[in-house]
Amino acid sequence: MATILEKKLLRQPDVFYYKLAAPLISKKAAPGQFVIIRLHKNGERIPLSLADINPAEGTISLIVMAVGKTTTEMSLLKAGDKVLDLCGPLGNPTRVEQAGKVVLVGGGFGVAPLYPIARAFKAAGCETVCIMGARSKDLLLYEREMEELCDRVIISTDDGSKGMKGLVTTALKNELEQNAGTGLVLTVGPAIMMKGVSDTTRPFGVKTMVSLNPIMVDGTGMCGGCRVTVGGETLFACIDGPEFDGHRVDWDLLMNRQKKYAPEQKESFETWRRRHAGVISE
């Protein structure tokens, strides 16, 4: 079992920060990897990206948005509570190399797992530029943390309430056109955003890595649930990824697969909600 040492609400009403005691995982984990968590014996296993790693403290940090049954159930936990299973680190770490200028593109709470990645590239001597986007300024996350770490932070909001008005892809195109030297673009966020980032960088010939989070069960390559098609080859996000060349990902297939169990997810959430409210019994 793993103890929640700290919990705080990052953004009303549904984005939470958790720090968990995980001494063994924190010693082995690296930026870009993830863990799988199970809250209790009847719970499902869900993958969560690492938002921070602190081996000196023996802790890891997670950012969780309450959108479904398990993440909403997790939002009810508090500091001092325990989760039954915490498995990791899983997946391959980000390949950190001297790439000159690295542009990190994050959408919504996808900025959080970019934080340890940015720190690693900065330590490797790279110039780091973070482009973060959200629908409005109230939905931005990790703005202060990235400003303290990166050489530059570019903000875009759909409504223009902060930074430039528009999508992160517009900000990225401007950066590629106006400032030379980008050796790598790495993006984390919704699939449609990462597809847009990949489409934006392709004409510039800039290497683009995307972090994929498809349907996943075991996280060890056994179930095949997280299969993705990259360059015409079937790969597993849990053991071959989670980072892949964005120019080679079959985005249409990925996004269709992400919707595959939407009815079952909705039914599971509604059943849990009614049970939690006392409408039905165990």
pLDDT in tens, 187-240: 999 999 999 999 999 999 999 999 998 888 888 888 888 999 999 999 999 999
Write phi, then psi, for 207 (nearest 5 degrees): -55, 130
Looking at every residue in the chain, the average pLDDT score rounds to: 93
Q: What is the pLDDT of residue 213?
A: 87
Domain identity same for 189 and 99: yes
Higher-confidence position of 261 and 73 = 73
Residues 168 and 188 sit within 8 Å (Cβ to Cβ) = no
| Residue 183 is assigned to a structural domain of this protein | yes
Q: Is residue 62 part of a domain?
A: yes
Write down which residue in 201, 231, 256 finishes a domain.
201
- 157 and 172 co-located in one domain: yes
Domain of 131: which CATH number? 3.40.50.80
Residue 244: inside a domain: no
> 39 falls in which pLDDT band (50, 70, 90)?
very high
Whether residue 9 is found in the same domain as residue 84: yes
Q: What is the pTM assigned to this prediction?
A: 0.92
Judged against a pLDDT cut of 70, whether residue 281 lies above it is answered with no
43: CATH: 2.40.30.10
Q: What is the pLDDT of residue 221?
A: 87
The pLDDT assigned to 277 comes to 75
User: Are 83 and 179 part of one and the same domain?
Assistant: no
Q: How far apart are CA 154 and CA 34, in angstroms?
A: 26
Evaluate whether residue 69 is within a structural domain. yes
107 falls within a domain? yes
Are 67 and 113 within one domain?
Answer: no
Examine the fold and report which residue of 146, 176, 201 is the final residue of a domain before the chain moves on.
Answer: 201
pLDDT at 162: 94
Q: Is residue 214 part of a domain?
A: no
Asked if residue 146 and residue 66 are part of one domain, the reply reads no
Q: Are residues 190 and 105 in the same domain?
A: yes
Domain C-terminal end among 62, 90, 118:
90
Q: Are residues 55 and 81 in the same domain?
A: yes
Q: Is the pLDDT of residue 30 over 80?
A: yes
* 22-58 per-residue burial string, b: 16 or more CB within 10 A, e: under 16: beebbeebbbbbbbbbbbeeebeebbbbbbbbeeeee
Supply the pLDDT for residue 279: 55
Q: What is the pLDDT of residues 100-135, one digit of tens each?
A: 999 999 998 889 999 999 999 999 999 999 999 999
Q: Which domain holds residue 16?
A: 2-90
Q: In this predicted structure, what is the pLDDT of residue 282? A: 42
The reply to whether 123 and 190 lie within a common domain is yes
How many helical (H) and strand (E) elements, i.e. helices and strands, does the chain have?
9, 17
Whether pLDDT at 8 is above 50: yes
* 219 vs 51, residue with greater confidence: 51
pLDDT at 262 over 90: no
Residues 135 and 153 in one domain: yes
Flag whether 272 is in a domain: no
Count structural domains, the chain: 2
